[in-house]
Structure 1
């Protein structure tokens, strides 16, 4: 079951430390499976290895086994960089110590994790080789107290305790359910979903935000009706009562707004995900920066997933076209896909991010925070499109937000 959970709703747990600290053995002990290759040879793990697991009561999680942070040489530097990328998008970091305990490598690592504001735990592995040990806390040079547990991947000692510490360290949203639209509808309500067939979606499937919204409608005991954009009027005429909410794909928000009376609440899938996966207020503020763009400014289009570029791609074609028409400016656009996010954010005048259905909320919030730290405004596809179409106030109204 955990293998079928969307990547964007999984808690991500990264195990990091020096080579031969026993990270691979520990991830095998945590999952109860031989997921990672184990060897006494330092540097066996060269690239991050992911393992899906059901960690109750949190639900589906992904454990990442990473390369040693003391890896050497040109390839070693690339492996360390890959490890730090995993840490950047994780929800909980487990720093694994070997026999030597806390060294300069771990102190530097813990400092970097603290700066990223990632909850973290120290797991001192190979407890079977030590005597007179007790769990507790490690006091770092700056005075920070970090939870510490002694474990033995070989003897399975302390593994259950480490699992509990991971559960306790998880961000609040993983211990309490976040709602996409469940706080906006009630049992028995009628919700109309407008779903044009997206050419970028795999054949025979809807895109993930649409599926998740439909599932939540059912979970709320409401009635979900799904139509394409050309069938809205027929659907409205056939209802005995007005829908409590209309949710549309952002790409057709203009035409849908013309068909849906103003007294019926209307929003977009991507705007719902701006709240569900990020910080809606920040993304709305970021959209206002569109009005300040100048000739020659560069806009970053951030895509959470890599996909084949279709003829009328929303991020690569439509948004640049609509933004050029709206601003009347000669703008440049660059696209970054997947987990790649540029380190030189300062050279961008605006970041327009996708709905982040394939990112967990921690990674999306961290991207928003990083943009704020660099003083680069950031918005998302749905909010941006509604702004460009002059419909942002209406789209935000059901969510109680004023642009």
Structure 2
């Protein structure tokens, strides 16, 4: 891997009306022509995503969204995609064009979007943009703050063309970082410096040819950084790998699908977990996922289950979410069980129709995105669990694995 994966980056999303200066600001702020700039309303259609390194912030993703007042034929779909981008956001910039404030126009849209951002607990900076087009921008900024009730929010004025205020923007953003951003680790306290860790990695049709899947790569890198000794093998060579060790490993991390063959070989005293279980804690709420797995026992042949995948890969015949988990559930509870599958950014607003949600390890999503999905399920009182936790439960070893 040559750069920080997108899911590990700070996500900064820009919102505002058409021609409020979002794309111009991105280009001026980063010093790159990232976003297409035009006076034509609706120039930005789908969200434009750019991975970039920024001083004092590190690896970031900047997302430029369509204007939320887009009245074109596709405007409703574009606004819907802008709203959906909030699922990923760590920080939001909401731009309000200074001429709009100077003309005294209604700010109902801005209030509505601020309320949406606040409801999702997204740190938000209101930006009075295009200040080079007005007189006394500081007066307009005070007026904007009053009209939007920004007592508990930050606001600043800037001009992307003259770059006045850009330095204040750069100074403000690091102070808006979520408190826990970047503090999570994949293996947490399960392995420390000097420990021997065995990684059991099946290479089936779902594994990219010539490469390891992302959770395996990230876990390997973290263990190396910790100073652990890593032994990698496949399920059929695990017994030989364990026999070659002078002492049992501190930890065995396996693909969740291999739990049935790996658990019987686990030495007494060695901890066992899976990549998906580790990512359940790294990306989401592990305790809630474990609690959600208890709902599996309440399923029947009339139950409806949602399988949620973060990535959009073409499914293989051995696909864990589309094939293996559904097959296990139907074998246990009946073939008439309804199992729906969504992938990528698709995730139903109405979750109440489901008896259980089973989410993938979400290596392609950031933690904020997963936690918002969990919150939506919890708010609708729908149990949610994770691939690895689900498979451990179905294997009968959930109380014997470490997380």
- Same fold by TM-score, threshold 0.5 exceeded? yes
Shift, 1:12, TM fit: 1.2
Alignment TM-score, normalising by the size of structure 1: 0.94
CA-CA distance at 1:29 after TM superposition:
1.4
The answer to whether the Cα contact below 8 Å between 1:180 and 1:276 also exists between their aligned partners in 2 is: yes
Residues 201-255 of structure 1: per-residue CA shift (max 9 Å, x gap): 2211111111111001100011111000111111111111111111000010110
The whole-number CA distance in structure 1 between the counterparts of 2:56 and 2:400 is 38
Distance, in Å, in 1 between the alignment partners of 2:291 and 2:137 is 52
Q: Any residues of structure 2 matched to 1:36-55 within 5 Å, and which?
A: 36-55=35-54
Can you give the 5+ residue segments of structure 1 that lack an aligned partner in the other structure? none
**Does the 8 Å contact 2:20/2:96 carry over to 1?**
yes
Separation in 1 of the partners of 2:252 and 2:302? 38
Q: Distance in 1 between matches of 2:147 and 2:318?
A: 53
Q: What's the TM-score once normalised by structure 2's chain length?
A: 0.94
User: What is the aligned partner in structure 1 of residue 355 from structure 2?
Assistant: 349
Please say if residues 200 and 308 of structure 1, whose CA atoms lie closer than 8 Å, have aligned partners that are also in contact: no
8 Å CA contact 2:301–2:330 kept in 1: the answer is: no
Q: Contact 1:12/1:64 (CA < 8 Å) preserved in 2?
A: yes
**Residues 163-187 of structure 1 deviation map (CA, whole Å, 9 limit, x = unaligned):** 232222121232x432111422221
Give me the whole-angstrom Cα distance separating, in 2, the residues matched to 1:239 and 1:245.
13
- Output aligned runs, 1:30-109, within 5 Å: 30-98=29-97, 99-101=99-101, 103-109=107-113
Question: Which of 265, 269, 275 is the matching residue for 2:271?
Answer: 265
- Cα separation, 2, equivalents of 1:29 and 1:142: 28
Question: Is 1:149 the counterpart of 2:156 in the alignment?
Answer: yes
* Structure 2 equivalent of residue 7 of structure 1: 6
Could you list the runs of 5+ residues in structure 2 that have no partner in the other structure?
A: none
Query: Which residue does the alignment assign to 1:334?
Result: 340
Secondary structure of the corresponding residue to residue 163 of structure 2? coil
Work out whether residues 326 and 388 of structure 1, in 8 Å CA contact, stay in contact via their aligned partners in 2: no
Q: Is 1:158 the counterpart of 2:162 in the alignment?
A: no
Does structure 1 residue 241 correspond to structure 2 residue 259? no
CA spacing shift, 1:325–1:226, aligned 2, 3 Å: same
Q: How does 1:360-371 map to 2 (within 5 A)?
A: 360-371=366-377
For the residues of structure 2 that align with 1:236 and 1:189, how far apart are their CA atoms?
A: 14
Q: Identify which range, 67-76 or 319-328, moves more after superposition.
A: 319-328
Looking at structure 2, the residues matched to 170 and 156 of structure 1 have their Cα atoms a distance apart, in angstroms, of 23
Give 2:117's match in structure 1, choosing from 95, 113, 117: 113
Q: 1:167 to 1:291 in 2, by over 3 A?
A: same
SS of the equivalent of 1:145 reads: coil
- What's the secondary structure of 2:73's corresponding residue? helix
1:173 maps to 2:180: yes
- SS of the residue 2:153 aligns to: strand
- SS of equivalent to 1:345: coil
Partner of 1:24 in structure 2? 23
Q: Is the 8 A contact 1:90 1:362 kept in 2?
A: yes
1:253 is matched with which residue? Answer: 259
CA distance in 2, matches of 1:278, 1:57: 26
CA deviation after TM superposition for structure 1 residue 5, in Å = 1.7
Contact 2:206-2:318 at 8 Å conserved across structures: no
Would you say the 8 A contact 1:180–1:213 is kept in 2? yes
Preserved CA contact (<8 Å) 1:11 1:60: yes
Deviation at 1:262, TM superposition (A): 3.5
User: Hey, what's the Cα distance between the residues in 2 that align with 1:224 and 1:4?
Assistant: 23
1:229 equivalent to 2:235? Answer yes
What SS is found at the alignment partner of 2:38?
Answer: coil
Residues in 2 aligned to 1:202 and 1:178: alpha-carbon distance in whole angstroms? 27
Give the structure 2 partner of residue 193 of structure 1: 199
**Relative to structure 2, which stretch is displaced further, 365-374 or 110-119?**
110-119
**Structure 1 ranges of 4+ moved more than 3 A:** 130-137, 139-144, 326-330
Contact 2:215 / 2:275 at 8 angstroms: preserved in 1?
Answer: yes
Equivalent of residue 393 in structure 1, options 389, 394, 399: 399
Contact 1:182–1:217, Cα closer than 8 Å, also in 2? no
Aligned residues: 395
- Give the SS at the match of 1:183: helix
Q: Is the 8 A contact 1:293 1:329 kept in 2?
A: no
